[in-house]
Structure 1
């Protein structure tokens, strides 16, 4: 059940039983989902519905509805079910609180009085179809389903009622029935783009991707400006790693509609993913020419710099400050007083992130929150993404609160944090995806700091500190930050050892008769300078091979493009093995396929370096002049592997050749490395937790 694909299959099977009326079988499967993933919103919501259907009543249903809503408050149906159940339970005050919360998040809910379960079957004055359409628009899905069914009972050829029925079934995740209903609409009106798009979405949910793509393409051919069809095809192409087709799609839309800033942004994201950084910059500049206040595009522009910047840049610092200035214009009334206690017992620390899940941020933070002293630190999570998984569930056990910011406008999100009485608010995202940096401009807590998920200044003046170690930010780099640097004593990062990781495999070189270098970094990190260094290393080590593994190499487009880059760098493709990504357990085992890793620069690895160390595989890194360029050096220093840190590209090449020729030394290191790093600062979570507690209190006391 650790495999998310298996989890979704189980949910689908449960929903199939549910829709067929096999309620006991459905309940058993939903509970199996929750046994592996206790915070799965779909399973909780559907168990609540089952409880009502089976007549077990509100006592059984309410806890499930409550959990579903708290896990994903951006989903209108979860909240609506919860509000209606609270109303039925004669808890009007609680219903009003949840209803108000949904409205603050921008959900288009009807007035509370209108959210009562229907008690009459008298036809409304406007007719069943219009009545059902209003119910659907406000998220009253079960009532809408009943209304559309009644409309079709009166007139079976009402194709608009049939479309409404299909849309409602889709919203209820009854995808098989929805697909069938959309097909019935298309049999009568085959060129109705709304039905084509709805049909495609239902097919995607059913895993019938080729049919979905055909339906999306038909809609786009009929209506070239249809944004839903465009985005639907784009998602399919990107998930299949069909990068060339995705790029062609974006460019075809822009040829007709160059004002589509969203498509310029999508193209920039695509080009970043395949490592075409300069072209991506052009796309984001186009976004900003059309929408100068587009904060997400500004974040993307700042993030791109880390792939190529080899030294500190005054321009990057200025662009970061410009972002902070713009964010401040969206926060006209920042807080000047706070509700937290002036002399805390436990310090209340908020964590703002979209990555409190199976993600590098989650991997690095798990050990900290598990070992922090609850008498000193009290954690509140503020997830900015609704997605949760098994790691989210483990993190949640150590949190005083799990307070989603999904869907909340910045002002409301800031108010939520302020009202929670947070002392120190940590931003774990910086200018990465799902960040909520504009919330920090409201100054919802008296102290704010940047840590973990980003590796440069945020430029937001209201963020007081950046937490680092002296390798990642030596004092000479401190002027490159708008934040004041607070130093952790050993390392800024502490990795949580993977559960159930296999034992390290013996070094492969003795059996193969040659050394295999490896790199598991994402495509944009593998710059031309990196390839040039690898070319020199491979030339000096006859018979050696290179294994490169990342998401971009899962499809033919990525493999073809990378082979072209290898050829330009003078590297024979026959010496390089290319692989896509694997699930984590398999990936950890695959670390044993290489003798040691060659890091990328100036953007090195983080999670991959730590996972490989745990599997007995060291990384050779090149220390640079920016915080991110020094990340590899920081990790290896904390792991006690200073001899694997190069200071120049020439030294990087020379060290790689030297290590490759010392097969006996590599074999000995493979056998002992896990135990060495287990007791190092990089993996010692209790030691790191004490250090982090001290730094957080230092930040609080320095306000």
Structure 2
């Protein structure tokens, strides 16, 4: 977005300098007073005092109601605080006053994307570029809105137009790379990734860390990107400082808050739901804080909402008001289920509305932020020698960090190979990970496996139409007939789990491994072959396989991965032995023992609270396994 306050997230020279309250006495002319109030707003914003910044701007606008520079700053402040409708009202007023001003259309495009109004965002961005073809932010807005509107070819063209004008534009490089991941568009893939790594966060440019996490795939890059990204919120003033709990607070149940926009039929909710249902209600009071998402009318939506003691909708209130609500609820431990994924409200966490704040489940890497105290992991996913790449302290669970839901329904429908587009004969390799996790290197490996197993196919989850076309084209380039790539259309989870049983072996991706998808496969008895790296994001499937008692499906190299895949595809007895063990272990090993997981998880929360009550800072610890 455009405007003075868009630069206010740079660190202040003196972070703890006193910030004057907006002056109310008119000392000079109204214009001079408005200018002074704007200066105060900038200073307040630099210190993270957005309520004061907004109040100053609102007062300034009263002195100078047709000053479009002031109005656009106020619109930006509203947007930053998540007061989206207020921001829209202001920008519409600015458009009426200055209909030929490119800056307002740039800001408006960004706002409309945040509001989910993609068609309008496309129109605003195109008007901006007609007025000023060199407005780089408008290209970013246009590309993002086109992608949100599923116009992927047009989105790629917008990114290319931006990078033709500014080849080292950090946001453009990253966003363009990420959409190419989703489309499996791999021409010059390695070179593009190298430019992303070298020209963005390593030069101090704030770019979305999730793309780095799933692109570069290593812990060091993820840490640097997270730290750079979080700097926009560091140095703000928290709502309160926190002492150990009072005797009265310790006498009540421990209050746990969950912050997310995924309280519907989403992977995070599918994993979390039974943990919430099985909690010790005598020891824990659980609050849900929903920042959006869908009321999709599904069973999982009803289950997760009812599993909370209370659930609040924070979607349409400002970050500051949302944080105040959490603070007023006296939450002891606030758990961020989003990290730096789509729809995150990190601004709320940055205000530190709870004394203990945790990164859990939604973001498999460090957030690199001072306001996040812990990350929940296990000793396989995050071994002690990797802690140097995490700014959080590590709470290690004894079996696997990932919860699971044993109540997840599996369709009883009879699925047939013919009905799913699979050949009547031949081995079915499958990978139902999101297409952005597929890289040229792992696809090379899969195609080599298909070469060595005649009649086999790769069954993969449908992406966008351009993605499906690209996967078939890339197979042909590697000497595999296009028809050996079978695209599985998306369907509801219950039915998808049922059809997964037609697969013979799940081939995991790298460097981003299967997470919820791997536990889904194991739940229905489908073996998962994985090759972990050194980062959290690459090791989740390996942790699941340890917890379900089939660690031999963890390869130690690509060569070993290839050999294991071919062995299982050509030795029916070996594959059947794995199937039999999975069936025997499914309900007897820790992976799907939800009660055991819940007790371990609750022990971790209690340990966090105990350290606080002892007046100690957060520290890494391991929860002992139940006997």
**TM > 0.5 fold call:** yes
Cα drift, residue 246 of structure 1: 2.7
CA distance in 1, matches of 2:372, 2:355: 10
Q: Corresponding residue for 2:180?
A: 271
* Paired residue secondary structure (1:326): coil
Alignment of 1:473-512 (within 5 A): 473-497=382-406, 499-503=408-412, 512=424
- Aligned partner of 2:48 in structure 1 is none
Contact residue 369 and residue 391 of structure 2 kept, 8 A = yes
| Counterpart selection for 1:373 from 264, 271, 280 | 280
TM-aligned CA deviation for residue 493 of structure 1: 0.8
The answer as to whether partners of 2:337 and 2:360 remain within 8 angstroms in 1 is: yes
Q: Give 1:687-702 correspondences, 5 Å limit.
A: 687-702=596-611
Instruction: State the 1:678 CA deviation.
Output: 2.8
Q: Tell me the equivalent position of 2:365.
A: 456
1:345 corresponds to 2:252? yes
What TM-score do the two structures reach when normalised by structure 2? 0.69
Q: Distance in 1 between matches of 2:482 and 2:509?
A: 19
The answer to whether the 8 A contact 1:681-1:687 is kept is yes
Instruction: Provide structure 2 residue ranges, at least 5 long, that are not aligned to the other structure.
Output: 1-80, 97-104, 613-627
1:282 CA drift (Å): 6.1
Q: Report which of the two has the higher share of helix.
A: 1
Q: Note the alpha carbon deviations across 1:261-317, whole angstroms, 9 max, x for none.
A: 988776455334224566488689999899x88xxx53x2x222333446542x442
Distance in 1 (alpha carbons) for counterparts of 2:380 and 2:389: 15
Counterpart among 501, 517, 521 of residue 608 in structure 1: 517
1:319: which partner in 2?
Answer: 225
RMSD after superposition: 4.4
Deviation at 1:632, TM superposition (A): 0.8
Aligned to 1:447: 356
Is the CA contact 1:320–1:460 (under 8 Å) kept in the aligned structure 2?
A: yes
Change (3 A) 1:216 1:328: closer
CA contact (8 A) 1:331 1:411 kept: no
1:615-651 superposed Cα distances (whole Å, 9 cap, x missing partner):
2211111122111111110011111221211111111
Q: 1:470 aligns with which of 354, 379, 387?
A: 379
CA contact (8 A) 1:595 1:617 kept: yes
Residues 332, 534 of structure 1: CA spacing in aligned structure 2 closer, same or farther, 3 A cutoff?
A: same
- Distance, in Å, in 2 between the alignment partners of 1:537 and 1:574 is 16
Aligned with 2:442 (options 530, 534, 546) = 530
Equivalent position SS for 1:329:
coil
Judged with a 3 Å threshold, the aligned counterparts in structure 2 of structure 1 residues 241 and 680 are, in CA distance, closer, same or farther, namely: farther
The answer to whether the 8 Å contact 1:546/1:577 transfers is yes
> How much has 1:343 moved relative to structure 2?
1.4
Describe the SS at the equivalent of 1:328.
coil
Counterpart-to-counterpart distance in 2, 1:275 and 1:672: 35
Q: In the alignment, what sits opposite 2:211?
A: 304
Structure 1 gaps of 5+ residues are 1-103, 110-133, 139-159, 161-192
Q: Show the counterpart of 1:106.
A: 83
Distance 1:219 1:379 in 2: 42
Please say if residues 505 and 592 of structure 1, whose CA atoms lie closer than 8 Å, have aligned partners that are also in contact. Answer: no
Q: What residue number does 1:363 align with? A: 270
Larger Rg: 1
Q: Is residue 383 from structure 1 mapped to residue 295 from structure 2 by the alignment?
A: no
Counterpart in 2 of 1:329? 235
Normalised by the length of structure 1, the TM-score is: 0.62
Pairing 1:660–2:572 present: no
User: Contact between 1:508 and 1:592, CA under 8 Å: does it hold in 2?
Assistant: no
Contact 2:405 2:592 in 1 (8 A): yes
- The 3 A distance-change label for structure 1 pair 410 and 318 is same
Aligned-partner Cα distance in 1 for 2:315–2:149? 28
The Cα of 1:385 is off from its aligned counterpart by: 1.9
Other structure's SS at 1:350 match? strand
* Distance of 2:122 and 2:336 partners within structure 1: 38
**Does the C-alpha gap of structure 1 residues 378 and 665 become closer, same or farther in structure 2, counting only changes over 3 Å?**
same
